Amino acid sequence: MQRHWLIPDWDPGLTLAHLPLEPLIGRGIKVLLLDVDRTLLPGRGVELPAPMRRWAKDASRLLHIHLISNNPSRQRIQAVADQLNVTYTCSASKPRRGAIRRVISTLPNATTEIAMVGDRVFTDVLAGNRLGLYTVLVKPPRPDGTACSHDRVQRLERHLARFFGAVGQ
């Protein structure tokens, strides 16, 4: 059965700060392509909250991390990447695949070893699924790392995904 492009492979109902790494590593994931806005950062600032910084530092010990953002501000995304000492891509135009394909082409890993992690069904999940990546949908965080309980955009996207036949949303 063909998978629906709007259904993530893993929807743990957690923010990135609480996402366990063991299930990813157990699946053979070696690379994380991380969204930035509302995945790593709760708001418009550039300073990573302590829970996100801790999670990303732990993850980077075990996995290669590349930030991939639709945000056009190179200065902003670079400021986030510099805090984690990781590579980045801005203006990615997700769900279009071009920027992600360029990143993948620089990696020695198979697509089955790469996970796309983000907070949006119609950008992060759709782009990752179209490329055959393992997709993880996380909850947008508050500054303390807990889930934002009133995220209208993700709720709307889930509703629209169900409308388009994404059962399990």
Average pLDDT of adjacent 10-residue blocks, the chain of 169 residues: 81 95 98 96 90 96 98 97 97 97 97 97 96 96 86 77 72
pLDDT of residue 146: 87
pLDDT of residue 166: 78
Contact by Cβ (8 Å): 131, 101 = yes
pLDDT of residue 80: 97
pLDDT of residue 169: 46
Identity of the residue numbered 104: I
pLDDT of residue 155: 76
d(CA 3, CA 144): 34
pLDDT of residue 168: 60
| Angle between helix 50-62 and helix 74-84 axes, rounded to 10 deg | 70
pTM of the model as a whole: 0.92
